[in-house]
Amino acid sequence: MPTPIISKRAPIYADVPDEKWNDWRWQLSHRLNTAEDIEKVIALTDSERKALQTQGLFRVDVTPYFISLIDPEDPNDPVRKQIIPVSEELNAFTSMMEDSLAEDRHSPVPGLVHRYPDRVLMLVTTQCASYCRYCTRSRIVGDPGQTFNRQDFELQIEYLKRTPQVRDVLLSGGDPLVLAPKILEELLTRLREIPHIEIVRIGSRVPVFMPMRITQELCDMLAKFHPLWLNIHVNHPNEISKELAEACDRMTRAGIPLGNQSVLLAGVNDCVHMQRELVQKLTRIRVRPYYLYQCDLVEGSGHFRTPVAKGIEIIEGLRGHTSGYAVPQFIVDAPGGGGKIPVMPNYLLSMSDHKVIVRNYEGFVTSYEEPTEYKSHDPKTCKFCLSKRPEPGQAGLTGLLDGEQMFIKPQGFDELHERGGLQHRLKDENKWKPLGIGSSEPTE
Ligand SMILES: *Cc1c(COP(=O)(O)O)cnc(C)c1O
């Protein structure tokens, strides 16, 4: 039997009338953010109380709906850990960074991150419905004095208009769905006026923190801007409530394909069996698991980090074991702005010039005989090959495979490998002897 999808409300909210509880404005204005407030719902640990009383901590705020999902008896509750700070947040760790993905360096105009050839990330607000303790953008998110900025928005639109290779705009922040409905609609309207923008995507945790925001009215508005895609952010099966299921149903009925992005977090979802339950529960509410991220090297999240191997182990436990639709891609977002890198178990064990040896999820090993004669399509006449060339410098390994380039060199490679020349010069001047000459001679 599948686990039931249920509705929860913490006892202190028992007397709140349904029309208030189900009103997203009520949820936003009744968020909890102090030790005193939160203690009315769950008994705080010393570590949590200390963190909540620390000045300068990343913003705390949680909706009454979301805090109700916590089991108040369990200090290790997986929902609790995501939104209640602990004193470990104050600990520094090696290679911790403020902007670990180097987003600021990839921003042609404020709030627009153009990292990949055909798509951009657009940060439209710094506000969220609740704040995840491991937020990768805690350097900018949460600042109450700064929300939607019209001047930056106009600069972003101008950049998009003059950059025709951008066909996909990903709205994020902060959370685009906390914007005032009128502003969100204007934003989408302005994006849709740009003919080369083919798809718009929204990354939002509002359906998870505050599913009552996903009203039919909002869905009708969003449906005017198709093709529109939306990724939610669920980390643990306990977040999949009746309210979230209904919100997702409204969105998918409005024609919005839904995906999920999770972050792999120690003590929250670093369990293969829990992940299997999570992805199966997501597909039941018609949400396709998209990415599972390795935790970024961001300040305050050291205690959430897992070895990369944990993510590989999770994918090993999903692929083949459950529906392919339910298996996300495990991603390490490379520090320093390298972008998203998929990492997975090895299924290709060996190969020869005519065979590959592969294994399946059960450990069954097989050989696949390759064709002895392969007649490829003709790239010289293929209209796709002829017209869809990557931007210069962005072809990557594809450029090596199709013969456009023979090698990719790290920066400074040529200078470094002038060494050979340098050694000969020095030897001629008799100032240098290569290691090995002399010492490698027999000593007898
Ligand atoms: C994640 C991200 C995207 C979108 O990546 P997809 O793999 O296409 O989902 C685009 N731009 C930036 C800067 C990103 O971080």
> What radius of gyration, in Å, describes the C-alpha atoms of the chain?
26
Give catalytic status of residue 248 as yes or no: no
The pLDDT of residue 440: 36
* pLDDT digits 0-9 by tens, 245-265: 999 999 999 999 999 999 999
* pLDDT digits 0-9 by tens, 83-135: 999 999 999 888 888 888 888 888 999 999 999 999 999 999 999 999 999 99
* pLDDT digits 0-9 by tens, 332-381: 999 888 899 999 999 999 999 999 999 999 999 999 999 999 999 998 99
The pLDDT of residue 188: 98
Catalytic residue among 31, 61, 133, 135: 135
Average pLDDT over residues 177-206: 97
CA separation for the pair 274, 152 (Å, rounded): 42
pLDDT at 3 over 50: yes
Output the ligand 1 site: residues, CB below 6 A: 113, 115-116, 119, 121, 170, 340
The pLDDT of residue 393: 72
pLDDT at 303 over 70: yes
Cβ 9 vs Cβ 68: under 8 Å: yes
Distance of CA 390 from the midpoint of ligand 1 (Å)? 17
Report all structural domains of the chain as residue ranges with CATH numbers, in order of start.
11-85 (no CATH), 104-342 (3.20.20.70), 346-374 (no CATH), 413-442 (no CATH)
CA separation for the pair 252, 200 (Å, rounded): 16
Give catalytic status of residue 25 as yes or no: no
The pLDDT of residue 443: 38
Chain mean pLDDT for the chain:
92
The pLDDT of residue 326: 98
pLDDT at 437 over 70: no
The pLDDT of residue 425: 53
3 state DSSP class of 365: strand
Give catalytic status of residue 137 as yes or no: yes
Average pLDDT over residues 279-295: 98
pLDDT at 11 over 90: yes
Best of 115, 159, 394 to mutate for ligand 1, by most ligand atoms within 8 A of CB?
115
Q: How would residue 395 be classed by pLDDT, with cut points 50, 70 and 90?
A: confident
CA separation for the pair 171, 156 (Å, rounded): 12
The pLDDT of residue 4: 87
* pLDDT digits 0-9 by tens, 318-345: 999 999 999 999 999 998 888 999 999 9
> Which residue minimizes the CA distance to atom 14 of ligand 1?
121
Catalytic residue among 31, 81, 133, 137: 137
Cβ 52 vs Cβ 23: under 8 Å: no
> Which residue minimizes the CA distance to atom 5 of ligand 1?
340
Cβ 279 vs Cβ 322: under 8 Å: yes
Secondary structure (DSSP) of 196-211: T--EEEEE--HHHH-G
Q: What percent of the chain has pLDDT over 70?
A: 93
Give catalytic status of residue 340 as yes or no: yes
CA separation for the pair 160, 157 (Å, rounded): 5
* pLDDT digits 0-9 by tens, 206-222: 999 999 999 999 999 99
Which regions of 94-194 does DSSP assign to beta strands (E)?
112-116, 119-123, 168-172
The pLDDT of residue 423: 57
Q: What percent of the chain has pLDDT over 90?
A: 78
Distance of CA 240 from the midpoint of ligand 1 (Å)? 25
CA separation for the pair 376, 249 (Å, rounded): 44
Q: How would residue 27 be classed by pLDDT, with cut points 50, 70 and 90?
A: very high
More confident residue, 337 or 170: 170
pTM of the model: 0.91
Most distant pair of Cα atoms in the chain: their distance:
97
Residue 45 burial (10 A CB sphere; 0-12, 13-18, 19+): middle
Average pLDDT over residues 431-439: 41
